[in-house]
Structure 1
Amino acid sequence: MPPALPFIEYSNTFHHKSYPAISPTRPELSAAGKTVFISGGGRGLGTGIVAAFAQAGAKNIVIMGRNATSLQTVATTTETAWPSTKITIVTGDVSCEVDVARAFYEVKKVAPDGVDVVVANAGHLATVAPIPAAAPTAGHSSTEQTKLDPVLMDWWRAFEVNVKGVFLLARHFLASAMPSAVFLNVSAGACHLNPVLPGFSAYAGSKIATARVIETLQEENPAFRFYNVQPGVVKTDMLTNSGLLAIPDLPLDDRECFHRI
């Protein structure tokens, strides 16, 4: 069984349910007329992020993900609930330059003047396990053999999606952002917890790397706003696969605020 979760004081008050001050319906939080791009918008936290921006009145929401069926379900459900919001879906992988470029081409079609908000939500959780010793080989293994190592491929995939994916999204954001546009990176508490969580080297390592990338982007581009956002502990498929639900008294957040579809 995993150890009890260490307590980290990021703020004075912790909320596990949504509350009026952050409601998307508040006038000062309005996204009316805005164009929003969300990666990983077809499942998990992404469905709630899409719903929240639609509830806040966004004019256009472009959602990207690898599963066309899930994306279409989100699009149909969202447009039914909030008819004034147009949803555009793009099937693709954020770690692929061509796919990201194609996604922002779709953004340009619905918002020729530029995007207002980009949410980097797509993420990859590598198999939760200690880093294993290399398998014995006869002589030196070839580069191709190394590339085909399933453990290495899965571990490195976290960096491809969680770091390179954000890098690619940020580049295209910079090329198409409206003045004072916002870039939100969905980070993770796992990259800050102490002591470290065994088996999470790929996920936590990639997430903390991305957090620093976002901080650097803010320094390099003061005209825009870049944020790392900790979404809390929500029971998604990723959390289930992580094994963290076995932690005693894990402080789960209310799923209702994410409008699961």
Structure 2
Amino acid sequence: MMADIMDFIRPTNAFELAAFAKNHHDTYQFIEPIGTELSGKSILITGASKGIGRATAVRCAKAGCARIAVAARSSLEGVIKEIKDEAAKLLARISKLLLGGKLDILVNNAGYLPEFKTVIESDPTEWWKAWEVNVKGTFLCCHYFLPFVLNSKTKTVINLSSIGAHTLSYGASSYQTSRFANVRLNEFLAREYEDDELIAISIHPGGIKTDMAANFPEMLHFSLADEPTLPADTIIWLAKERRNWLNGRFVWSNWDLEEVESKQDLIVENDLFKFRMTG
């Protein structure tokens, strides 16, 4: 059975990537917010009505974020209430509007996962929708909001990608190539705005059983074992200070970030976690 699964997903070097540090499936003490991590900062989170985006918005309130803007195609009423409730516990001041002409953190979380089908079997419109949401959507948010991010001191963009960017799963050409493109686009952001000191990081959020995962093949549902607080708190940890040593790189949310932090010299010296061909 496992051999069939491995043949289906064709993980290339994904497992070696996962093994860079010990793994977690939920938040843990090193990254769990205590209420001051994002104090005074502003953040915009796309795809925030449910799943990872919703969890991130609520955890940002727990981290003391001063201004939280949330965007989604579906209703935000519930998540806004959760944000306000969490903020009230910390006496944090929460607003739905970004003020002062600056944005500290942009989180491009909105995503789309089509049903797994081969290139011939795929509906072209459905196949392209993953690129419209995952790539064009990320581009548009960067296009319009980067001027505000660059006007801040934190200057951080976090782009959701996937381990799918590193695998060749049967029928996943739409989703996995779009997530591959997310990582490369992230590298371009770091490169084009290096003189402006932008920090751009792409992340794999883990295996989260969200609504988006409904199109995930049944045989792979066993891998959806992580809690949404894991990527949410990972995002907060990444954004609470400027992580120059991770700029332009891909981060696996399951990694133990205390261990990863101890290896930052190794990461920089070997220019790890970027797409490269070796010969």
TM category (shorter chain) comes to 0.7 to 0.9
Secondary structure of 2:44's aligned partner: strand
The change in CA–CA distance for 1:124 and 1:87 in structure 2 (over 3 A counts) is farther
Q: Contact 1:129 / 1:198 at 8 angstroms: preserved in 2?
A: yes
Residue 250 of structure 1 pairs with residue 223 of structure 2: yes
Gaps of 5+ in 2: 233-279
**Take 2:106 and 2:93, find their aligned partners in 1: how far apart are those partners?**
16
Normalised by the size of structure 2, how large is the TM-score?
0.71
Residue 62 of structure 1 pairs with residue 65 of structure 2: no
Secondary structure of 1:8's aligned partner: helix
Residue 125 of structure 1 pairs with residue 117 of structure 2: no
Residue 215 of structure 1 pairs with residue 187 of structure 2: yes
Residue 226 of structure 1 pairs with residue 233 of structure 2: no
**Take 2:224 and 2:48, find their aligned partners in 1: how far apart are those partners?**
24
**Take 1:172 and 1:61, find their aligned partners in 2: how far apart are those partners?**
17
**Take 1:248 and 1:44, find their aligned partners in 2: how far apart are those partners?**
16
One-letter code of the match for 1:246? M
Identity of aligned residues (%): 28
- For residue 192 of structure 1, report the CA deviation from its aligned partner: 0.7
Runs of 4+ in 1 over 6 A off after TM superposition: none
Residue 114 of structure 1 pairs with residue 102 of structure 2: yes
**Take 1:180 and 1:248, find their aligned partners in 2: how far apart are those partners?**
37
Aligned residues: 216
* Aligned partner (choices 53, 56, 62) of residue 49 of structure 1: 56
- 2:86 corresponds to which residue? 81
Normalised by the size of structure 1, how large is the TM-score?
0.76
**Take 1:50 and 1:239, find their aligned partners in 2: how far apart are those partners?**
20
Q: Contact 1:16 / 1:252 at 8 angstroms: preserved in 2?
A: yes
Q: Contact 1:130 / 1:198 at 8 angstroms: preserved in 2?
A: yes
- For residue 22 of structure 1, report the CA deviation from its aligned partner: 0.6
The change in CA–CA distance for 1:66 and 1:251 in structure 2 (over 3 A counts) is closer
More strand by share: 1
- For residue 257 of structure 1, report the CA deviation from its aligned partner: 4.6
Q: Contact 2:111 / 2:133 at 8 angstroms: preserved in 1?
A: yes
Gaps of 5+ in 1: 89-105, 134-149
The change in CA–CA distance for 1:248 and 1:207 in structure 2 (over 3 A counts) is closer
* Aligned partner (choices 3, 6, 19) of residue 5 of structure 2: 3
One-letter code of the match for 1:233? G
One-letter code of the match for 1:252? A
- For residue 81 of structure 1, report the CA deviation from its aligned partner: 2.2
Deviations 1:97-137 (A, max 9, x none): xxxxxxxxx53xxx22300000000011122111116xxxx
**Take 1:163 and 1:247, find their aligned partners in 2: how far apart are those partners?**
24
Secondary structure of 1:124's aligned partner: coil
One-letter code of the match for 2:32? S
**Take 2:127 and 2:68, find their aligned partners in 1: how far apart are those partners?**
31
* Aligned partner (choices 214, 230, 252) of residue 240 of structure 1: 214
Aligned-CA RMSD value: 2.3
- 2:22 corresponds to which residue? 13
- 2:275 corresponds to which residue? none
Deviations 1:20-42 (A, max 9, x none): 00111175xx1011110000000
Secondary structure of 1:217's aligned partner: helix
